[in-house]
Chain A
Amino acid sequence: MTIFGRLLRMRKIVVVELAVFVISANAFSIVIEARGQYFSPSEKSFKDIYGGGWKYGGEIGFSITRHLDFWVSGNNFSKKGKLTFTQEESKLSILSAGGGLRYRLTTGAISGYTAAGANYYRFKESNPIGDVRKGGVGFEGRAGVLIKIVRGLLVDLNIGYSYCKMKPADFDINIGGIEAGVGLAVDF
């Protein structure tokens, strides 16, 4: 079993235990969110070759207390770029999955929050030089605001920063960066 598989399995166990904990603690909500984020990589070569782009994903949040949530999420970033000299096509795909805690600064119709967590990143790049696949663990932090539009329906505006250093082939690269996005969440 791969590390990614093991992490998924661990994550399932954690989610189940948290759910049991929340229910047993008479916790009160689950939030499911779909979101899109514009990703701007930190690495200059990343910017030069691929530039920024939209990253899509989803998140499930579980209330632990009135101000504290536990979340798990998954995201995908895919982009085409060009090799630096030959200008031949290069394809990049970064899949990430992870979880963390979110702290709600306020509650009510508009609720600010900060969040932090860890992600497992799956890196894949294909071009005439070669094909590379590599996995690695990184971190992310996020701040945002949840706006209740109608009962049970929220809009999530957020900005974040991620970091994941790895060496898939010839270079040490950071595949993280700054991102800003919007999501639509349902509060059960």
Chain B
Amino acid sequence: MLKILFRFFLFSALISPSTQSAGHYEKDHRPRQFYHSALSDNSPVCSYSHLLMLYPNTDVQYVKDGITKRYKGSLSGSHKNAIISAYNNLHFLTADGSANMEYSLLDIVVINTPISKITSLGGNMYYLSPDDIKDDLTTYAPPGIFDSVHVVWNNGPIDSYWGMGGSFINEGKTTFDSIISGDESWWGGGKYICGQVFLHEWLHSVCRYYAGLGFTMPIGDADGGGSHGYSYDPVLGWMAYYRDLMQGKVWEPAYSKYTGITKEAWSRGTPNQTPLKITSPNGGEQWKEGETHNITWVHLGQTGYVSVDLFKNEVFKVNLGIAPVEAKTLLWTIPLGLADRKDYSDYKIRVSNNSCQDLSDKNFTIIPISSQVYFWLIINTTVGGTTVPSPGYYLYRENERAVVNITALPNTNYRFTRWSGDVSGTTNPIAVTMNRDISITANFLRIIYPPLNARGQKVLNRSLSQAEYINVLTWEANPNSEDIANYKIYLVDGGQKTLLTTLGSGGFKYWHRKVDKNKTYTYWIVAVNSSSREGDPAIVVVR
């Protein structure tokens, strides 16, 4: 989105030169249509947005053979036009070379402010470096706008190489090449030769970029025509080599395989593009809770699904769903209550898959229904029950001061234990006054029932000469209880409960030995679950 807006701005600037202060713009030479060669049935899988920055005027000091000199001069109109015509042919050359896998969008800015600084390459050689035109690059080619920037400067008598390609600006996101104006006659030629210098220098950077992604390039990349058996043709120039280079068909003996920019490489996009790019929301949107919006993205060569996430202040907030990457859209109804009431800007959307991701370029806003008028009642439950009203989110007007009766309803074999959250207690139902946001949780517990058929009996156990009395306790498991790990036997005497023993879940009898023959004993037999929670006791009295 930013890119489109900038291009609109640039277009406006170009047709209104008198209003600009950063430079003087002559005309917009862009043929806005995509160029499609008839050479192949390929559909473009990659788009490069190019900018030519043409500097026809120079006023610099330089050193030649140890003598400081000054060059001040301008290109003729025909010379400028020859350069621009050659640049415009870059459409054809990239489409022809890549067999239509790549297409180019071209922009031109002619900067009439004379160049006042150039960079020495050692000896008598100079070139116009990115540092020399730093301000202009910031103005006309900021990050995220163009994929490739070509600079042509009027070198006059200053010694320089025709082209210096293979470098990047904008932290590697934009290819950069610097070309001298040279002689006007250099820029002519037939349709395959005219503008080949742009293609050649651009290919240096492009090959470096795709090599960095793991694709194998021929040794010498754009310079490797001669060393790979190709020769300059009066009609095609080096186009035969560039075609093979741009289609991954250069046989590289050193690697024993074909090298170059394959369709898969082009499919990875430009250094400035992510293979996955979110297009909406991409910054500045103002969406409201309850509204439904399309989250959209574009992609290059991606398959499968993408995950769509909401970020707040660059921090993950919530997943909004997944969608086939090819769908390029996800319909999202913004839930009520999602937006931060105090700070409802600073949202971004991220789309991602296993290999790549993209975040909205800038923040957008989710506006809550109201920041003051409503209070949220959030009812939650633990496992084992529900509530009336049902668990969920409820909105109440602040000025209603509504009183909401909430009833906890345990499921079978569960018991309501308490309220927690912003409200506590065990009253059921409970009345909640909505004078603030309230989150309340009804807590339920699985009932641990008393063992069944608990009995006790005092028996005599004797030998020939000795005797003891034993209180024999027996019980059965209660089938309505779950997850019983053991049973505990308590002796209850005078309000005091003393643990006698803990038995495994398979033990259903206990002998309390050497008891008093004439005393009455009271026992609690308690089932205990794996969380060590004790259930209700089965009470056994033995006389």
A binding-site residues for B, Cβ under 8 Å = 43, 45-46, 49-50, 81, 83-86, 90, 92, 123, 125, 127, 129-130, 132, 134, 168-171, 173, 175
Contacts and interface: CB of A to CB of B under 8 A. Distances in A.
B461 A132 contact: no
B511 A127 contact: no
Nearest to B514: A129
Contacts of B463: 49, 81, 83-84, 90, 125, 127, 129
A113 B49 CA distance: 138
A83 B465 contact: no
Contact of A50 (B459, B464, B468, B470): B464
Nearest to B468: A129
Contacts of A81: 463-464
A86 B464 contact: no
A134 B465 CA distance: 10
A93 to B, nearest CB: 11
24 contacts: A49-B462, A83-B461, A84-B462, A85-B459, A85-B461, A85-B462, A86-B511, A90-B464, A125-B464, A125-B465, A127-B466, A129-B462, A129-B463, A129-B468, A129-B514, A132-B465, A132-B466, A168-B465, A169-B466, A170-B465, A171-B462, A171-B464, A173-B465, A175-B464
Among A45, A49, A86, A175: residue with most chain B CB under 10 A: A86
A161 to B, nearest CB: 19
Nearest to A86: B461
B473 to A, nearest CB: 14
A170 B461 contact: no
B456 to A, nearest CB: 14
B465 A84 contact: no
A81 B462 CA distance: 11
A77 to B, nearest CB: 12
A176 to B, nearest CB: 13
A86 B467 CA distance: 11
Contacts of A168: 465-466
Nearest to A43: B464
A123 to B, nearest CB: 7
B460 interface: yes
A81 B466 CA distance: 13
Nearest to A127: B463
A90 B470 CA distance: 17
Given A85-B459, A86-B511, A49 B464 contact: yes
B470 A86 contact: yes
Interface in B448-479: 459-468, 470
A107 B388 CA distance: 110
A129 B470 CA distance: 11
The 9 closest A-B pairs by CB, nearest first: A85-B461, A168-B465, A129-B466, A90-B463, A169-B465, A169-B466, A170-B467, A127-B463, A132-B465
A84 B466 contact: no
Interface in B491-527: 511, 514
Nearest to A166: B465
Nearest to B469: A85
Contacts of B468: 129
B460 A171 contact: no
Given A84-B460, A169-B467, A171-B462, 20 more contacts: A45-B464, A50-B464, A83-B461, A83-B462, A84-B462, A84-B463, A85-B462, A85-B470, A86-B461, A86-B470, A90-B463, A125-B464, A129-B463, A129-B466, A134-B465, A168-B465, A168-B466, A170-B465, A171-B466, A173-B464
Contacts of B462: 45, 49, 83-85, 129, 170-171
B464 A129 contact: no
Among B459, B461, B465, B467: residue with most chain A CB under 10 A: B465
A125 to B, nearest CB: 5
Contacts of A132: 465-466
A170 B459 CA distance: 16
Among B460, B464, B468, B511: residue with most chain A CB under 10 A: B464
A142 B511 CA distance: 46
Nearest to A170: B467
Contacts of B511: 86
B344 to A, nearest CB: 76
A129 B467 contact: yes
A68 B459 CA distance: 53
Contacts of B466: 125, 127, 129-130, 132, 168-171
Contacts of B465: 123, 125, 132, 134, 168-171, 173
A169 B467 CA distance: 8
Contacts of B470: 85-86
A90 to B, nearest CB: 4
Nearest to B511: A86
A127 B513 CA distance: 14
A84 B468 CA distance: 10
A99 B462 CA distance: 33
Contact of B467 (A46, A134, A171, A175): A171
Interface in B351-390: none
Contacts of A46: 464
Nearest to B470: A85
A56 B460 CA distance: 33
Contacts of B467: 129, 169-171
Contacts of B459: 85
Contacts of B514: 129
Contacts of A43: 464
A124 to B, nearest CB: 10
A37 B305 CA distance: 97
A84 B469 CA distance: 11
A76 B131 CA distance: 120
Interface string B86-110: 0000000000000000000000000
Contacts of A134: 465
